[in-house]
Amino acid sequence: MKSAIYKGNIVHHRLGRVEHRFAHKLPWFLLDLEEIETLQQGRLFTVNRPGILSFYDSDHGARDGTPLSLWVTSLMAKYSSDTLHYKVLCLPRFFGYVFNPISIIFCYNQDNELTGIVYEVHNTFGESCTYIQMKDDQELEAKKTLHVSPFFSMNGHYKFSVTEPRKHLDVKIHYFDQEGSSLFAGFRGVKTSFNINNLLKILIVAPFTTIGVTLDIHWQALRLWFKGLRLYHKQKTQDI
C-alpha cells in the first residue's frame, strides 16, 4: 500500500509587531489516488460517500466532484508531458466535516520519480488557489493571490518547501508581507501505516480533528485581535 498517515506536530509562529505562537498534534493523510477506491474500510473510511472518515473529490480541485486525479492532470499538462500519478496530503472528512487550510499533491512520473508538487491553499470563504513547484526547485517562492488571514495584507509572498514523503515528512511555509510581519507554518511527521488499527486509534485519540482545525483558527484569530493587530478585510471581488 502506497498510502500512509503521518502523525506529527504542526507549528505556527508569527513575528513582527506582535509575536504569536501555537502548536498542536495532527494526523495528516497521504492518499495515493491510484489506489483510493481500495482504501475503503466499510463505513470507517469511505470515498465519495458518507462515512466516519471520508475522502471526497469535491473537497479539492474543481470542487464539483471531478476526480482529483483528472483535475491535477489537466493542471500539470502545462508543465509536464509525462504520464503522472498522484498522492494527496490532506485531511479527510471526520463525521462529514473537513477544512483543509492546505492540501499538497505530489506528482510522480512512470519511474516513480517526483516531478512536481501542487500546493492548494484554501480559505474559510470556500475559495482556493494553487501554487506549483517543479522538481528542480528546492523551494517555491510565490506571490500571495488569496485572502487567507484577516491579520495579513495581500501584499506579501510565500516560500514553500516540503520533503518527499518517506519515513518522515517535513513541510515548511514562510510568509512575508510588506508591513514587516512574517509567519512560519510547519509540520514534521512520522509515517504510520494506513490500516484499520491506526484509523481507530486516531478516532479514539482525536475524533474531532477537523472541527478542531476550524475552531482553532477562530480561537487564534480572537487572540490576535485581543493583541491589537490590524484587520485587513476581504475584498468583495477578487481575482484568485
| pLDDT one-digit tens code per residue, 68-87 | 999 999 999 998 888 999 99
Q: What residues are paired with 12 via a beta bridge?
A: 22, 185
Q: What is the spatial distance between Cα 113 and Cα 35, in angstroms, rounded to a whole number? A: 18
Q: What is the pLDDT of residue 198?
A: 97
Q: What is the pLDDT of residue 1?
A: 85
Q: What is the pLDDT of residue 151?
A: 84
Q: What is the mean pLDDT of residues 183-207?
A: 97
Higher confidence at residue 136 or residue 18? 18
Higher confidence at residue 150 or residue 74? 74
Q: What is the mean pLDDT of residues 101-122?
A: 96
Outline where DSSP puts E strands in 135-201.
140-143, 156-162, 168-177, 182-193
pLDDT of 180 over the 90 cut: no
Q: What is the mean pLDDT of residues 90-106?
A: 97
Q: What is the mean pLDDT of residues 46-56?
A: 98
Q: Could you tell me whether strands 53-55 and 85-90 are parallel, antiparallel, or unpaired per DSSP bridges?
A: unpaired
First to last CA, the chain: 36
Q: What is the spatial distance between Cα 117 and Cα 69, in angstroms, rounded to a whole number? A: 13
Element (H, E) at 42: none
Radius of gyration of the chain (CA): 18
Q: What is the pLDDT of residue 27?
A: 97
C-alpha cell at 191: 509515517
pLDDT of 238 over the 50 cut: no
The torsion region of residue 63 among left (phi > 0), alpha (psi -120 to 50) and beta comes to left
The rounded mean pLDDT for the chain is 93
pLDDT interval class at 93 (50, 70, 90): very high
Outline where DSSP puts E strands in the chain.
4-15, 20-32, 45-47, 53-55, 85-90, 93-94, 102-108, 114-122, 128-134, 140-143, 156-162, 168-177, 182-193
Q: What is the pLDDT of residue 229?
A: 82
pLDDT of 197 over the 50 cut: yes
Q: What is the pLDDT of residue 239?
A: 42
Q: What is the pLDDT of residue 207?
A: 92
Q: What is the spatial distance between Cα 216 and Cα 91, in angstroms, rounded to a whole number? A: 15
Q: What is the pLDDT of residue 240?
A: 40
Query: Dihedral angle at the C-alpha atoms of 35, 36, 42, 44, nearest 10 degrees?
Result: 130
Q: What is the mean pLDDT of residues 47-64?
A: 96
pLDDT of 138 over the 90 cut: no
